[in-house]
Amino acid sequence: MRSAVIVDAVRTPSGRGKPGGALSGVHPVDLAAGVLRALRERNGLDSRQVDDVLVGCVSQVGEQSANIARQAVLAAGFDERVPAATIDRQCGSSQQAAHFAAQGVIAGQYDIVIAAGVESMSRVPLGTAASIAGSPLPPSLRSRYPEGLVGQGVSAELIAARWGLDRLALDAYAAVSHRRAAQAAAADLFASQLVAVETESGTVSVDETVRAAASVDGLAALPPAFRTDELAQRFPDLGWHITAGSSSPLTDGASAVLIMSEEAARGLGLTPRARFHSFAVVGDDPLLMLTGPIPATRRILERSGLSIDDIDAYEVNEAFASVPLAWAAEVGADPERLNSWGGAIALGHALGSSGTRLLGTLLARLEHTGGRYGLQTMCEGGGMANATVIERLG
């Protein structure tokens, strides 16, 4: 069987996903084109060598419509013969893009492929696609769940309640995420991945979403973000502990990973940095919605023959603080190996981009620490999750 290897990984800095954010003046096609161009230039590729470009994006409407992957390929100056496709597996869209890319290499259908992701939540606000041309929930689906499914914030509250996570635990976790991200940035641990973005206001080269001064006391002053009287009546046992501070912020950003067969990489004189070891994707309870990383992790550990203790670094997307905390409790994970350079609460969650952003961070962490195996998993809208295990080479 052929191996699929990671040669390079890049990302933009994170920008606040609202008007006035550092990247809000940049068209999302140009955000994606920037990381594609960076991969080509950093690795001396002729774009005609790329078999396909797979890009994750969630809100595929307006500036992110019409197959944004293809628009980004053309905007990046790639040869017109390079194809591209846009993928939506909600928050795991670009992680799924990486799976499809690596699996295509393993199957012999690709030699060189780019997996990427992009989301401009300032220019294409969350929920825009569902706000036009009718509801995505037909009567048949509403009849299956007559009490109604809920938004992810409420799902995060349900998880906090089920796993006994109080306000202090959630705020403490969020503060640690910011502290770890700030420390990693100060130590230039993200430097190998970051690609500066030129805007009309100047060059953006650092993550805008990290708040080094975040503290438990400061976070404690924030109000619950998702409580309404109607929801409080439906869920009387919830403590309503999730705030903006223990949630990932709206974010703009793009990221990309260069994936090849090992033979293609060595033939081009490029160094394979890690190989894809195992893959998993699962569906889970759509009401709790965000618990999918738990069964996804169990499945991938079973498939890989590894135990959680064999994994040297975990990247579990911090959609909300309750998600990685519940995951760690269920799978018996070492908290020191979990998101040790900070997670999405600090670094942002540019939906379609987060999968390949996490993959780049996981690769850099393994190289920095000398670890062998890394695990990435993330919850996804509708109650799904992807999981990936990579093995560092060299």
Active site residues: 91, 349, 379
- Distance from C-alpha of 374 to C-alpha of 159, rounded to nearest angstrom: 25
Note whether 252 and 21 are within 8 A (CB): yes
192 exposure class (CB count in 10 Å sphere: 0-12, 13-18, 19+): middle
Tell me the DSSP string of 113-146.
EEEEEEEETTTS-TTTGGGSSS-S--HHHHHHST
Q: CB neighbours of 191 closer than 8 A, spacing ≥ 6?
A: none
Strand (E) positions, the chain? 4-11, 15-16, 52-56, 84-87, 112-120, 197-199, 202-204, 251-261, 274-283, 313-316, 373-380, 384-392
Query: Coil, helix or strand for 83?
Result: coil
User: Bridge-partner residues for 251, per DSSP?
Assistant: 16
The two three-digit tokens of residue 367, written as one number: 């190289």
**Separation of alpha carbons 220 and 245, rounded Å:** 9
For residues 122 and 15, the answer to whether their CB atoms sit within 8 Å is yes
